[in-house]
Amino acid sequence: MEKLIIQGNHPLNGEIKISGAKNATLPILAASLLSEAPIQVSNIPHLQDVTTIVSLLGQIGVNITLDERTNIEINAKELCSFHAPYELVRTMRASILVLGPLLSRLGEAEVSLPGGCAIGTRPVDQHLKGLQAMGAEIQIEKGYIKAKAKRLRGASIVMDIVTVTGTENIMMAATLAKGQTIIHNAAREPEVTDLANFLNTLGAKIKGAGTSTIIIDGVDHLTGGSYHVLPDRIETGTYLAAAAITRGKIKLKNTRPDLLESVLLKLEEAGAFIDTGTDWVSLDMKGQRPRAVNVSTAPFPAFPTDMQAQMMALNTVAEGSGVITETVFENRFMHVQELQRMGANIALKGNTAICMGIDNLHGAPVMATDLRASASLVLAGLAAHGETTINRIYHIDRGYECIEEKLAQLGARIHRMPEGN
């Protein structure tokens, strides 16, 4: 299996471009199932998760052409299947995003239940409850969600908890439903808004995305169109944290700093000097050690759970102690044990991690366990004295485009060791 090798303790310095958002690309590609007309999407990141959804859509009959750059052409005129098999869904939970669109477009969908994952049980009950409220008949058989509905009808749906892909699934399904759907307690993440903007470009009638009440007036069909995916705020935050942990100075272009205020405020609290423009953000530690910060994760606009592990890495070498509380996923501290192998002083109590900053981490062989946990190990490796080897990096490739190339562009001493070495 491939590994990343990092020689740490060098400040990052320089400029890089941020890629399109993974968590916007996945629902947007799934939503293309709703239209019979050609669609072009640009700013698509080259990621393993994108390859997975492209394979899934290909099996369903969608014609997809990807170019060398970041553009994709999609034609979902003739679909040949409503089945999302276990083999693909188990590699990426977000495959559940095809459930709403398939059901709405074909009146039938069979999607493998995603099951558990490293960061928690992650049920999909809210997705199913919403679709049932719209008239779908749903059965769970042999590990599959089997859903049927002649034509979904609009409904008023109150989500019991804030769920990002749950909101997206229902929003997509409601686009072609008969009548009006109102989603109460909807997720407000920018990627939900990006999906709504994409669907509206194709003629959908969605209002209120970005607030907790989304109103969708169903239409009979969608048209084709072109769309540019928004930048990845988590990739942006990860590189900023990487600069902060190495006491460096970087500028990130092609991004949207307005989408990550909660993260920028925490980095400032940690001692970073941050400057922003509409499509760029820069961070300068002026060579200083970061200060430890307290963080509590929650749905947008609060601090994102997808940045929790990276802030934990920062706290490990910061001055003072910081408390991190994870409220979104019940088991998202898999990185703690690996950080401890590098010398970090972290105590875990339930959903809280108390981290006493130490002067230096030391390089060690570590294991990536999930996507964002892997990012935190890369950050720790960049700051650590000596060599860090990160194993199982396929997790990183799911969500970070060319991570070693981008970090090398910022002066990091990092390389990928191919399989078999």
Residues labelled as active-site residues: 117
CB of 417 vs ligand UD1, minimal distance in Å:
27
CA angle 400, 17, 408 (to 5 degrees): 65
Burial 3-23 (b: 16+ CB within 10 A, else e): bbbbbbbbbbebebebbbbbb
**Cα distance between residue 388 and residue 221, in whole Å:** 53
Q: Which two tokens stand for residue 284?
A: 């300068």
Q: Which two tokens stand for residue 152?
A: 């979904």
Strands 225-228 and 321-325: unpaired
Contacts 24+ apart (CB under 8 A), 366-370: 366/338, 366/341, 366/342, 366/390, 366/391, 367/338, 367/391, 367/392, 368/392, 368/393, 368/394, 368/395, 368/396, 369/118, 369/334, 369/335, 369/338, 369/395, 370/117, 370/118, 370/119, 370/332, 370/334, 370/395
Interface residues with ligand UD1 (CB under 6 A) are 23, 26, 93-94, 120, 122-127, 161, 163-166, 191, 305-306, 328-329
